[in-house]
Amino acid sequence: MKITKVYTKTGDQGETSIIGGKRVRKSCERLEAYGTVDELSAHLGLLASMLPEGGDKDMIIRIQNNLFSVCSNLATDQSQTPLYDSAKLADGEIESLEVEIDKIMQLFTERQGFVLPGGAQAAAQAHVCRTVCRRAERRIVVLSEIAQVSPEILQYVNRLSDYLFVLAKKININTGVSEIIWQKVCR
């Protein structure tokens, strides 16, 4: 897709068009949802730039591609516009995250309790991605209370935050950086 013009001036009054052409306020729940997913994708791009070539980096790029579909899905008012195929997650993407989570979980020898986000720089960035992902999930839930949201979208984003949590732990293990365990005792 060739971009011919970056600015259109059509959003200068605080409105934008969603898929199907409907104009909405830039403060609406729909834009909050897909805007936060877009923010997550940008954070994932930073994480990918920190990772060596190979499996984890490839998985992050795959996730970024999926998040474009998630954004397209959320940017479609399904009560007025049918979903384009590009706005649908491919079959098996949720399961793909689950497989990756299960593989990473096998690396952990013991349960450590709650960890403070951090460690190696890439692990810390994975934690930033995880928290932005959780915020995106909350924004999608708000949208789902007033508009139709495909159920697999919420499932995918929920599973993605779990993946990012275990990926951060894996990065710390691989780099030999110890995690800091939360010391407060719950009573």
The model's pLDDT over 4-51, given as tens digits with 9 standing for 90+, comes to 788 888 788 888 887 888 888 888 899 999 999 999 999 999 999 999
**Residue whose pair of structure tokens reads 């810390």 in the numeric block:** 124
Q: What is the identity of the amino acid at 19?
A: I
Q: Which tops the pLDDT comparison, 5 or 61?
A: 61
76-108 per-residue burial string, b: 16 or more CB within 10 A, e: under 16: bbeeeeeeeeebbbeeebbebbeebbeebeeee
Q: What is the pTM of this model?
A: 0.91
- In this prediction, residue 161 carries a pLDDT of 98
The model's pLDDT over 151-173, given as tens digits with 9 standing for 90+, comes to 999 999 999 999 999 999 999 99
Q: Residue 3 pLDDT > 80, yes or no? A: no
Mean pLDDT over each residue of the chain, to the nearest integer: 92
The SS3 call for residue 24 is: strand
Identify the band that residue 187 occupies on the pLDDT scale cut at 50, 70 and 90.
low
Q: Which tops the pLDDT comparison, 117 or 126?
A: 126
- In this prediction, residue 142 carries a pLDDT of 98
Distance, in Å, from the CA atom of 157 to the CA atom of 67, rounded to the nearest integer, reads: 9
Tokens of 157: 């984003």
- In this prediction, residue 8 carries a pLDDT of 82
Cβ 172 vs Cβ 120: under 8 Å: yes
**Number of residues that make up the chain:** 187
Q: What is the identity of the amino acid at 121?
A: Q
Distance, in Å, from the CA atom of 159 to the CA atom of 67, rounded to the nearest integer, reads: 13
Distance, in Å, from the CA atom of 10 to the CA atom of 68, rounded to the nearest integer, reads: 23
- In this prediction, residue 10 carries a pLDDT of 77
